[in-house]
Amino acid sequence: MADQVITKEDIMVVFPTVQKTMADALGCDEDDIKLDVSLIEGLDAESIDFLDMVFRLERAFKVKVPRGKIIEDVRGDMPVEEFEQNGVLTEKGLARLREYLAEIPAERFSSPMRVDQIARLYTPETFCKMIITAQRVAAAE
Amino acid sequence: MPEQSIGRFAAFSFVDRITEIDGLRRVTGVFTISPEVSYFPVSLVAEAIGQLAAWVAMSHVDFKFRPVAALAGDTRIFKVPQPGDTLELEVDIESCDEQAIVYRGRARINQEIVLELLDTLGSMLDINEFDDPERLRHDFACLTSTGRDSGSFLGVPRPTLHALQVAQDGGVNGCEVELSVPTQAAFFNDHFPSRPVFPATLLLDALLQVAQPFTEKTVGCQVAASRITNVKVRAFTAPGTTLILFAQSPEAVADEPNTWCVKVGARSAGKTIAGAHLYFSTTHSLESNL
């Protein structure tokens, strides 16, 4: 059930709450939280902000989001050694990432790409997907 | 006082004994504020609750990681403790793993609540960066058995603040103050032995001391801190750092008469390293809530 396709409509259902929650966490206006803005490069988010956003989103949506959940969601059922080696995404891993973050323009993906660079790609839409996946997992339990 | 009494496990330790650990759900402990201490900031009550949570978190991950202050969503202040008071500490742990501990907690004096922490998250970092895990393991064994002697904490110096800018009609929208973090202080021996860091709760105390008189001057009456929200600690502050503390003009809180919110923060070398929202209420309205 958690593997169901996430549509734009699904995303727009959760986006208003994600937008408000992220604005509170980052101390910016809600209007600054566009679906496709890069959280790190566009809104100066740091690692503590990601922790804060996930923490607030968990409470806002009453779901549990394990730390590192986005990368887990990206990898899905792919074995770790197929997904990345020595902290660098494999070709298969990078293809999986492009597929998961289909909304991100192709030029923003580097090749090779380190796992710790993935967060630079995150947008509010990434977090919407994370919440929808967590909701589906919770509903399936 | 012997040298050791102001060093590690004394100068900035706020749990005398861990009285009960109910798995990874709930932990209780006590801390007595020495009658000799002249100044015990209310933020140190939050520190005590956080340290109780930290002991259980460190034990849970076999002393490989330790939590450090990161986020405190909501802190309610009901009363300011006095020297000689014994804090009865409780922590409810929501989750704890090698990345973070999420918890809530409260402190009581004679069963009367003095401070409550909600939605608190500590990031877990490599313990070796901060302390010797074997010594921490030994200290934990002491706290969970006989406890340690109370009265080891001898107080902290009041922060030295220098006003830079104060709001004026048509002038700056808030105030800025310079805080010189000392290069040496007893609390650095304990927080932390391998990496001295200015405690976030002392930074919070300094921010309260900046914002309270500023609020009183702006709103024209005496106020006291009643709530702290949105605490976010972005970076460690090393000894000797000069911080710029800032407070924005107080804003009246809707639906809460006689209460104002002040957004505060601290900058180091132009970068914001911490922020919070401080709520102040008139002392009269605070008393009526008790």
Report the complex ipTM.
Answer: 0.82
CA distance B124 to chain A (A): 12
Task: Give the pLDDT score at B60.
Answer: 96
Half-sphere exposure of A14 (CA within 13 A, CB side): 26
Put simply, whether A59 touches B (Cβ < 8 Å) is yes
Put simply, whether A27 touches B (Cβ < 8 Å) is yes
Max distance between CA atoms of chain A, in angstroms, equals: 41
Instruction: Tell whether the model's pLDDT for residue B86 goes beyond 60.
Output: yes
Q: Give me the mean pLDDT over the A115-119 stretch.
A: 91
Instruction: Tell whether the model's pLDDT for residue B171 goes beyond 70.
Output: no
Put simply, whether A48 touches B (Cβ < 8 Å) is yes
Put simply, whether B98 touches A (Cβ < 8 Å) is no
Do residues B251 and B266 make contact, with C-beta atoms less than 8 angstroms apart?
Answer: no
List the single range of A48-52, A122-126, B3-7, B185-189 with lowest mean pLDDT.
B3-7
User: Which domains does chain B carry?
Assistant: 3-143 (3.10.129.10), 161-289 (3.10.129.10)
Which of A28, A46, A51 is the mutation pick for testing B, counting most B CBs within 10 A?
A: A51
Q: Give me the mean pLDDT over the B126-154 stretch.
A: 94
CB contact under 8 A, A52 and B123: no
Task: Choose among B96, B89, B102: nearest CA to B48.
Answer: B89
Do residues A120 and A46 make contact, with C-beta atoms less than 8 angstroms apart?
Answer: no
CA angle B250, B69, B148 (to 5 degrees): 120
Residue B151 pLDDT level (bands cut at 50, 70, 90): confident
Task: Give the pLDDT score at B284.
Answer: 64
- Output the CA torsion B252→B254→B258→B259 (10° steps): -70
A·B CB contacts under 8 A: 29
Q: Give me the mean pLDDT over the A88-112 stretch.
A: 92
What is the sign, positive or negative, of the torsion defined by CA atoms of B8, B13, B18, B19?
Answer: positive
Q: Where does residue A53 rank: exposed (0-12), middle (13-18), buried (19+ CB within 10 A)? A: buried
Helix/strand/coil for A44: coil
pLDDT tens by residue, B88-104? 999 999 999 998 999 99
Residues 6+ apart with CB under 8 A from B10: B4, B152, B153, B154, B190
Q: Please name the residue of chain A whose CA is at the shortest distance from the CA of residue B70.
A: A48
Put simply, whether B72 touches A (Cβ < 8 Å) is no
